[in-house]
Structure 1
Amino acid sequence: MSVATSIPDTSLGLTSSEIQILRQQQQIALQGGGGHAGSVSRGRGSGRNSNSSSRATSAASSQGRLLLDPMSLRALSHQLEYLQEQIHHRIEHLEDQMQASIQNSRDRAGNVIRNADAEIARTRAILASIDELENELAKIGHIRDIVKSFRARIESYDHRLDQAARRR
C-alpha cells in the first residue's frame, strides 16, 4: 500500500497533544505493539505484505499522515486499546491509593478530635477545680477576716483588762 492511501493526521480534528500521542502510538504499533499481549502479530504471519505495510505505515507516519489500510488501522487500534487499558489500570491504582490516603486522614482526624475532646474535658475539670478552690479561698479569706475581727476584739478586751487591773 502506498502513502497515497493515507490522510494527514492533522485533519482528524485532534489537538496537537492528541496528534502527538497518535503519532507515538502509531510508531509503537509499527514496531510490533511494544511486546504486549494481543499485539497485531496475529493473522497471516509476518510475510512480505506485513513488511511492506509496516514500511508504508512508517513512511506515512514520518510524513504526519495516517495510513488507512486495515492492517495498520488494526495495529493502531490494538495499540490504543492497550494504552487505554494501561491508563485505566493506573487510574484504578491511583484511586485505591487516594481512598487509602483519605481513610488515613479520616482516622488521624478522628484521633485528633478524640484527643481534643479529652483535653477539653480535662481543661473543664481543671477549671471546675479552680472555681472550687477560688470559692474555698474566698471562704477562708472571709473566715480570716472574722478571726482578725475576733482577735482585734479580744486584744482590745485584753488591753482594757490590763488597764483596769493597773488602776486598782
Structure 2
Amino acid sequence: MALGPEVVERILADGRYNLIFAPHQRLVERAPELRGFVAGLAGRAGVHADLDSFAMVDGSYTAAADLYLGDTSSQVVEYMMRPRPCVFLNALGADWEGDPSYAMWGAGAVVNSLDALIPAIDAAPALHPGYRGFQTRFVETALGDVAGGAPARAAQAVLAALR
C-alpha cells in the first residue's frame, strides 16, 4: 500500500475523475491498515471504495472502469478483455523493462512519480490507440481463446465421457 493513499488523495483533489478503489484481495489481506484508510473515504465525493463485496471478484469494477490504474494485478487482464486505457504505478521503482513479471506494463503508460500521475491519467485516452494491439495480444496470450466456444466444448467432452 506504499503509494495508495497518496494516489487516491491526488485523484480526489484533482476533482475531475470518479474513482473506484477496489484493490486486489491479496493486498487487503496483507495490509490490515487499508481498512482504516477506506473508512476515512466514506461519504467523500468522487470515490467508491470496496474491500469486501462480491463485486471485488466478479468483474463488476473492471467492466465499469474507463481506465485501469494499478500495478501488476491479475485484474488488469480482466480489464483488458475489452481494451481501454491503462496507467501503471511503479511504486517500488522497479527496473521493469524486459522483466516478464512486468510484461503487462506494455499496455499503457508507466508512472514513476506521483507528480506524473494526473498528467498520465489525462493523456491515457489519447495514447490508448498506440497500446490497443499490445493489449489484445497480451490478453490472447494470457487467456487463450475467449470467443465463447468453451462451454460447448466442455459439454461435448462431458457427453463423450458419459458414453
Q: TM-score, normalised by structure 1?
A: 0.27
The structure carrying a bigger strand percent of its residues is: 2
Bigger relative CO (Cα 8 Å, ≥ 6 apart) = 1
Q: Which has the larger radius of gyration?
A: 1
The structure carrying a bigger helix percent of its residues is: 1
Q: TM-score, normalised by structure 2?
A: 0.28
